[in-house]
């Protein structure tokens, strides 16, 4: 059940990011198509954060230490761009146009997810 809630929260956060940031576009034509797009992209986002992000952190741990963690903003932006690219490869109508769109999108998704988890209580052991 916790997995489903995390996917729904991430999908909502992606919707907020797409609504706020120019350069994050969902080109589905129907409402259900957009909802499905956000859910699929949320699954891709979860996969990237669960599999690829720990590897990047392990390989680049020296850069995290040298920059006092500020490199994480760049890493998150690049991973957000990767999500957009993977969505394109899978013919999902979700686009991230450029580094800055990825940068702000990653920040918005992170903040919205954090606020929702803070407000409703998230148990990592679900």
First vs last C-alpha separation in the chain? 7
Tell me the residue range of the domain where 98 lies.
Answer: 2-120
Count the alpha carbons within 13 Å of 99 in the hemisphere toward its beta carbon.
Answer: 3
125 is a domain residue? no
Phi, psi (deg, nearest 5) at residue 40 = -65, -40
96 is a domain residue? yes
Per-residue pLDDT of the chain in tens (126 residues, 90 and over written 9): 588 888 999 999 999 999 999 999 998 888 778 899 999 999 999 999 999 999 998 998 899 999 998 999 999 999 999 999 999 999 999 999 999 999 999 999 999 988 988 888 755 555
103 is a domain residue? yes
Number of domains in the chain: 1
48 is a domain residue? yes
The pLDDT assigned to 79 comes to 94
The pLDDT assigned to 5 comes to 87
126 is a domain residue? no
85 is a domain residue? yes
The token pair that represents 86 in the structure block: 């993977």
């Amino acid at each position: 059940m916790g997995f489903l809630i995390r996917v729904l929260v991430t999908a909502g956060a992606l919707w907020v990011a797409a609504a706020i940031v120019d350069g994050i576009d969902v080109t589905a034509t129907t409402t259900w198509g957009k909802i499905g797009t956000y859910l699929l992209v949320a699954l891709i986002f979860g996969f990237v954060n669960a599999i690829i992000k720990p590897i990047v952190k392990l390989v680049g741990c020296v850069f995290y230490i040298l920059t006092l963690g500020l490199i994480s903003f760049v890493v998150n932006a690049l991973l957000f761009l990767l999500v957009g690219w993977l969505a394109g490869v899978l013919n999902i109508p979700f686009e991230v146009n450029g580094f800055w769109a990825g940068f702000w999108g990653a920040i918005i998704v992170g903040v919205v997810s954090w606020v929702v988890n803070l407000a409703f209580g998230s148990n990592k052991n679900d």
